[in-house]
Amino acid sequence: MFIVFQKESSMHELNDNNLSGVNLSGLNLSNVDFCKCNLQNINLRKSILKNANLSHADLKGADLEGADLSGANLSKANLTNANLVGAKLQNTNFSGAKLINADLSHVDLSQANFSGTDLKN
């Protein structure tokens, strides 16, 4: 699978696509619009997702270990069983997201928004 972005766009759109199980580890995906995407079991280890739009995305079982999600929008995203160990989550919007059994070990949550978030274990 190849993903091509146009340089003139400030927000690259992949919204409402099925990218489940894809390996995008280590890529710079800043400002990409993943709104409503199926990202189940995706590998985003050590990827840069600064200011990315992941609202309403299905990230069940996603591997986001060491990823930089600073300023990202994860409102109403499903992060059930996601691995977020060591992720950078400063200024990240998790409002209304599901983080059931998500691993948030060793993360920086400064100024993150968790209003209405489901954090059950």
- What's the mean pLDDT in 20-30? 96
CATH numeric code, 22-121: 2.160.20.80
pTM > 0.85: yes or no: yes
Q: What is the DSSP letter of 46?
A: T
The residue behind tokens 């997702």 is: 49
Domain boundaries, the chain: 22-121
| pLDDT tens per residue across span 70-117 | 999 999 999 999 999 999 999 999 999 999 999 999 998 999 999 999
CA distance 30 to 102: 22
